[in-house]
Amino acid sequence: LCIMSQPTAVIEKEGGGGGALQIDLHPLVIINISDHHTRAKVQGGSGSTSSAPQGPRVIGALLGVQEGRSVEITNSFELTYVMDGVVDFEYVRKRLEMFKKVFPTYDFLGWYSTGSAVLPSDIEVHRQFVELNESPIYLLLDPVQAASPLSRDLPIQIFESELHMVGDHPTMLFVKVQFRIQTGEAERIGVDHVARMQQGSGSEGSQLTSHLVNLQNAVKMLNQRIKILVSFLESGQQIDRAMLRQLHSLTNMLPAIDTQDYKDSLFREYNDVLLVTYLAGITKGAATMNDVVDKFNTTFERQARGRGRGFL
């Protein structure tokens, strides 16, 4: 879900802060946020206006690993509101539970949004996430800066929240922190593929894209030529037998998908897929059973110790 807001007073505290907080940001997070914003902009968004250059404002959760003051942001997912400015925490908990099953080491680190500036309403949204993380971080992606051809820097700012005395009252402020891009081998390949899949990229496209385009063109050409042959045979014109023999030999070269060999190969691959799925289910069941046995043994040992103390 997305909301539209006009930038008002910036509540970012200028200057350094945040101590020795070290943040590593993975490219997958940037791609997810950009994709989220692009889809919301194309679809119009909720309450969006076409006159807004930055498009609709979207929000989402940041996931990763934190050890002390070292934070590694590795993934993200989209968030929704139940009403204006109120995050749907039931949805957040369900998504976090799903991620925990696949990535047990991932924790909720903070949230992201899109826009050209920090808004006063961001503080109110930020306070809601304290329930999930005592000190959540806030990532802001500027789509206007991202679309500018003159910009050479990443249109991303990351903030942490701190309490400062403003007019004799403790006030939560956003403090900008530094970050660095951290990538793995798989991410570098994926980012290279996404970066090269641009319209009109021509020969600069990735090898996979070029291969798929060539394959598509070859299938189209084959389909067109088969249609020409079929229309020629159905026209009823007198055809030379030598030409018929050539057409017959040409059609025999086409792979047939109704042969017994093809069916056997298809069934083998289908059975292999089912076997892998079955093994995955067995492995998951065995892991669950192992957890239950461990918990049972722990509980039984505690009860046995309690009874032993009673006899003593």
What confidence tens digit (pLDDT) does each residue in 6-52 have? 333 344 444 444 456 889 999 889 989 988 998 888 887 443 434 45
C-alpha span between 112 and 59 (Å, rounded): 5
Is-above-0.85 flag for pTM? no
Q: Which range has the worst mean pLDDT, 107-121, 138-152, 213-227?
A: 138-152
What's the pLDDT at 20? 60
Dihedral in degrees, nearest 10, Cα atoms 104, 109, 114, 117: -170
Gap between the Cα atoms of 206 and 194, Å rounded:
9
Nearest in space to 176 (alpha carbons), one of 9, 10, 18: 18
Contacts of 11 (CB under 8 A, 6+ apart): 118, 119, 120, 122, 123, 173, 174
H-run or E-run covering 282: helix 260-311
**pLDDT of 135 higher than 50:** yes
Residue whose structure tokens are 């701190």: 162
Predicted pLDDT of residue 112: 94
Q: Among 139, 181, 191, 187, which Cα is nearest to 25's? A: 181
Q: pLDDT digit string (tens) for 64-113?
A: 999 888 999 999 999 988 777 788 888 999 999 998 888 889 999 999 99
Record the tokens describing residue 104, joined without a space.
Answer: 């047990």
Crossing angle of helices 27-43 and 185-196, rounded to 10°: 30
Q: How far is 306 from 293, CA to CA, in rounded Å?
A: 20
Measuring CA to CA, which residue among 31, 228, 24 is closest to residue 137?
24
